Amino acid sequence: MRSGTAEFVESAEKVVGPNHVLTATEQTEPYAVDWTRRWEGHTPAVVRPGDVAEVAELVRLARRHQVALVPQGGKTGLVGGSVPLAGEVVLSLTRLTGIEPVDRLAGQVTVGAGVTLGALQAAAAEAGWAFGVDLAARDSATVGGMIATNAGGLHVVRHGAMRAQVVGVEAVLGTGAVVRRLRGLVKDNTGYDLAQLLCGSEGTLGIVTRARLRLVAPPGPLVVALLGLPSMTAAVAFAATLRTTLPGVRALEAMTGDSMRRTAAHLGVALPTTPTASAYLLVEADPASDDPTLTVADSLTRAAGEGALGDAVENAAVATAAGERAKLWRFREAQPEAAAALGVVHKMDVTLPTSELAGFCDDVAVAIADRWPEAATFLYGHVGDGNVHVNVVGGPEGEDVDDLVLEQVVDRGGSISAEHGIGTAKKRWLPRDRSPAEIESMRAVKQALDPDGILNPNVLFPPFCL
């Protein structure tokens, strides 16, 4: 342990109490690895503050002793952004689990950074409201981490990403300054929105300790439809049409035909619609009508008039009962586990301009198959947001496949990170995605709010820019 680190740890124990500073390897190990076990680091200490004052004191100590901190939530990221890969001290926010009473008048709630998405959803539901973001890792992912990575998920097409839910935050910046805006003011134009700046900053500017979040109306009776389409191009076009014609559309998920058939095989069930389609589209809507099936069917039929959809609408599987809806959703949600069942998965999470989405899906699958004929490629994602998850398994080792995929993304004007951020995994790619002027501007902001570079210093910025 470096002497600065030893002094920091000694002082930190006085701040949070010795029980909340872990230094024994068997205790720190779980905090040094992410859930995929792809990213494994080491740390001299894990510090677990219990409130914002403790966090502020720890940041001041870290500045004084020049100790790097990695803020950590539920560790459900995929890019190595919250594990101490360079031996940083881990600042775990999981003790900040307070949930204040839901403000029913405002439709808002204030929660601690360590609250899981699942706990937040439950609190909202109990008060007759809902939370606008949902994702598969709901029982582990924490609000702080979701803000730091601007998490997206299934309903961005309806409610926006995490950024759109954040009304305000309490946070400790890298300077040690505590900023706090928790009064729930939806319209509040009094200078720079520091909460929005922290959204997606991956713990490099400040540490969120609490957040004031907007809630949304709970959905009415839901309808889910699964359609098999003649091409990904048709799926993208149909999704666009549904966004303007289907009342209450709240999820638009697309999958390639290969991904779908592999997933059905993994689940051991037959596809409930056209089994040989080139692409599949899963639609969830809250049509707010007495006869939701009819409304959705009408909308599908009306929307279908504008595209070359084959028999997709006639053969669509439509479900309204909860159990039946869940069965259709399984074909989408089981895609990652179907991939994982085949071996170690390369996971990439990218966004394409909508006009490039179908071409990307078509070409990248062919390019991977050409180079690694034994590989299985899964392509699925949130077509309403242009977001594709690329999972490749059983073929390539090393990072060649990541390079192949990200190269195509950049060439088509896409984003190399849709939902998980840059972290460690993608930082060498950042200069391909963002211009020198943008990276320089980001570095100036980093320098302004974290002048000593103590907050997650090894993520986001490429090494040759440091």
User: Which is nearer to a second copy, 148 or 392 (by Cβ)?
Assistant: 148
Q: Is 196 in the site for a second copy (CB under 8 A)?
A: yes
Min dist. Cβ of residue 266 to a second copy (A): 26
Min dist. Cβ of residue 363 to a second copy (A): 18
Q: Is 210 in the site for a second copy (CB under 8 A)?
A: no
Answer for which of 6, 33, 86, 164 binds a second copy (CB under 8 A) is: 164
Q: Is 248 in the site for a second copy (CB under 8 A)?
A: yes
Q: Is 296 in the site for a second copy (CB under 8 A)?
A: no
Strands 206-214 and 166-173: what pairing?
A: antiparallel
Interatomic CA distance for residues 181 and 167, integer angstroms? 8
Q: Is 3 in the site for a second copy (CB under 8 A)?
A: no
Q: Which amino acid is at 331?
A: F
The dihedral over CA atoms of 355, 361, 366, 372, expressed in degrees to the nearest 10, equals 140
Residues within window 23-42 making contact with a second copy, judged by CB under 8 A:
none
How many residues in the shown chain lie near a second copy by CB under 8 A?
Answer: 93
Min dist. Cβ of residue 197 to a second copy (A): 5
Which residue carries 């002082």 as its tokens? 11
CA dihedral sign, ordered 319, 324, 327, 329? positive
Answer for which of 87, 118, 160, 336 binds a second copy (CB under 8 A) is: 160
Q: Is 201 in the site for a second copy (CB under 8 A)?
A: yes
Looking at 386-461, list the stretches that DSSP marks H as alpha helix, in order from N- to C-terminal side: 400-411, 430-433, 436-449
Does residue 223 sit in helix, strand or coil?
Answer: strand
Backbone angles phi, psi at 218, to 5 degrees: -65, 145
Answer for which of 19, 24, 101, 105 binds a second copy (CB under 8 A) is: 105
Do 43 and 31 touch, CB atoms closer than 8 A?
Answer: yes
Q: Measured in whole angstroms, how far is the alpha carbon of residue 345 from the centre of its chain?
A: 18
Min dist. Cβ of residue 244 to a second copy (A): 5
Interatomic CA distance for residues 393 and 382, integer angstroms? 21
User: Which is nearer to a second copy, 349 or 396 (by Cβ)?
Assistant: 349
Q: Is 236 in the site for a second copy (CB under 8 A)?
A: yes
Min dist. Cβ of residue 130 to a second copy (A): 9
Min dist. Cβ of residue 366 to a second copy (A): 22
Do 242 and 204 touch, CB atoms closer than 8 A?
Answer: no
Radius of gyration in angstroms for the set of CA atoms belonging to the chain, rounded to a whole number: 23
Answer for which of 33, 240, 267, 342 binds a second copy (CB under 8 A) is: 240
Q: Is 245 in the site for a second copy (CB under 8 A)?
A: yes
Residues within window 417-446 making contact with a second copy, judged by CB under 8 A:
417-422, 426, 430, 433-435, 437-442, 444-445
Q: Is 189 in the site for a second copy (CB under 8 A)?
A: yes
Answer for which of 6, 99, 178, 465 binds a second copy (CB under 8 A) is: 178
Does residue 346 sit in helix, strand or coil?
Answer: strand
Q: Is 370 exposed, middle or buried (0-12, 13-18, 19+ CB in 10 A)?
A: exposed
Q: Measured in whole angstroms, how far is the alpha carbon of residue 340 from the centre of its chain?
A: 19
Answer for which of 6, 86, 135, 185 binds a second copy (CB under 8 A) is: 185
Beta bridge partners of residue 224, listed in sequence order: 284, 319
Min dist. Cβ of residue 407 to a second copy (A): 15
Do 456 and 69 touch, CB atoms closer than 8 A?
Answer: yes
Answer for which of 49, 73, 107, 396 binds a second copy (CB under 8 A) is: 107
Residues within window 297-316 making contact with a second copy, judged by CB under 8 A:
none
Q: Is 156 in the site for a second copy (CB under 8 A)?
A: yes
